[in-house]
C-alpha cells in the first residue's frame, strides 16, 4: 500500500486497495500456475500462453537484450519463449533461500529449450560474454539493489535507486534492446514483444535509467494490479532523504 500511495497519490484510496488486492490475487495465481507451466504438457502451455510480436523483433538475427519487468506473468512468458522461439535464451537468476524451492524453480525455468540461467553470484561478466556470443538475454533490473551501481532518477516522480546494467550491457555488447511483458488474461497469459528501443543507450547512465523507468511506468499503468508491489522499491534513498517505509 505504501508503494501504491507513493506512485499513485492522486488515485482514490479505494482504487489503490483494489490494486493491492489484485496484487496478492495475481501473485498467488502465478505461483499455482507454475504447476502446469513446469509440469503440464507442452500443448497445454501453448494453449494457455499466447504470443504477439507485431514488430518482428524475434525474427531478427543476432543477439538481443530484453528488459523484462517484474510482472507476475513473467514465468509464463519465459516458458512460452523458450518453448516456441528457437533462440539462445539466457537470463539472470536470483538463487532461492530454500534449497528445495531453488531446485524446483531452476528445473522449471530450464524446462524448455536448454536456456542458460546465470546466478547473481556469478556476476555480470558471463552475461556480457553470452551477448557477444549471440544470446538473447532477459534482464530484470527494476529492483532496488542498493546505491552501488545505481543512479537516482525519477520513477513515478520519486528519486529512485535504479541499476544501470541494462544500458551498460547494451553498450558494451553493442546489442539492441526491446521489452517484453506477459499479461495475465482470462484463460491464461499473453506475451507482448515491444519494438526495439530507438537511440538507446545514450551513454549517460542517468538518461538511460530514466528511459528505462519511463518504459516501466507505461506498462505498470496498463496493468497496475499485476506488478510486484511487494518489493520495497524505494528502500534506498538519496543522501539526506528520510526512509519512506516504517518497519
Q: Is the pLDDT of residue 189 over 80?
A: yes
Cross-strand pairs, 193 = 180
pTM: 0.95
CB contact set of 132 (below 8 Å; sequence gap of 6+) = 63, 173
Whether residue 237 is predicted with pLDDT greater than 90 in this model: the reply is: yes
Q: How many CA atoms lie within 13 A of 129 on its CB side?
A: 7
The mean pLDDT of the chain is: 96
Using the 8-state DSSP alphabet, how is residue 64 labeled?
E
Q: Which residue has the higher pLDDT, 95 or 44?
A: 44
Q: What pLDDT, on the 0 to 100 scale, is given for residue 120?
A: 85
Looking at the predicted structure, is the pLDDT value of residue 33 above 90?
yes
Q: What is the third-level CATH fold of 2-226?
A: Glycerol-3-phosphate (1)-acyltransferase (3.40.1130)
- Cβ atoms < 10 Å from Cβ of 45: 21
- List, for residues 62-112, the tens digit of each pLDDT value: 999 999 999 999 999 999 999 999 999 999 888 888 999 999 999 999 999
Pairing of strands 150-155, 116-119: unpaired
Burial (CB count within 10 angstroms: exposed 0-12, middle 13-18, buried 19+), residue 80: buried
> What is the model's pLDDT at position 95?
87
Per-domain boundaries in the chain: 2-226
What are 148-161's pLDDT values in tens digits?
A: 889 999 999 999 99
| Per-residue confidence (pLDDT) for residue 197, from 0 to 100 | 98
Return the SS3 of 199.
Answer: coil
Are the CB atoms for 180 and 194 separated by under 8 Å? yes
Confidence of residue 124 (pLDDT cuts 50, 70, 90): confident
Amino acid at each position: 500500500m505504501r508503494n501504491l500511495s507513493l506512485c499513485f497519490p492522486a488515485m482514490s484510496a479505494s482504487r489503490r486497495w483494489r490494486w493491492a488486492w489484485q496484487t496478492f490475487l495475481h501473485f498467488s495465481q502465478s505461483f499455482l500456475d507454475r504447476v502446469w507451466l513446469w509440469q503440464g504438457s507442452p500443448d497445454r502451455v501453448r494453449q494457455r500462453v499466447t504470443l504477439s510480436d507485431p514488430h518482428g523483433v524475434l525474427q531478427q538475427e543476432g543477439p538481443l537484450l530484453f528488459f523484462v519487468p517484474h510482472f507476475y506473468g513473467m514465468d509464463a512468458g519465459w516458458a512460452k519463449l523458450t518453448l516456441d522461439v528457437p533462440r539462445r535464451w539466457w537470463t539472470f537468476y536470483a538463487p532461492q533461500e530454500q534449497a528445495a524451492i531453488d531446485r524446483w524453480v531452476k528445473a522449471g525455468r530450464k524446462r524448455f529449450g536448454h536456456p542458460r540461467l546465470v546466478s547473481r553470484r556469478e556476476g555480470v561478466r558471463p552475461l556480457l560474454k553470452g551477448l557477444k556470443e549471440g544470446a538473447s538475454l532477459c534482464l530484470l533490473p527494476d529492483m532496488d539493489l542498493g546505491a552501488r551501481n545505481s543512479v537516482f532518477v525519477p520513477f513515478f516522480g520519486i528519486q529512485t535507486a535504479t541499476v544501470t546494467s541494462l544500458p551498460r550491457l547494451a553498450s558494451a555488447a553493442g546489442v539492441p534492446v526491446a521489452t517484453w511483458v506477459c499479461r495475465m488474461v482470462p484463460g491464461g497469459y499473453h506475451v507482448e514483444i515491444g519494438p526495439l528501443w530507438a537511440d538507446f543507450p545514450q551513454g549517460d547512465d542517468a538518461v538511460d535509467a530514466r528511459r528505462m523507468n519511463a518504459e516501466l511506468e507505461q506498462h505498470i499503468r496498463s496493468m497496475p494490479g499485476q506488478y510486484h508491489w511487494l518489493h520495497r522499491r524505494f528502500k534506498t534513498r538519496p543522501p539526506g532523504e528520510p526512509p519512506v517505509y516504517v518497519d
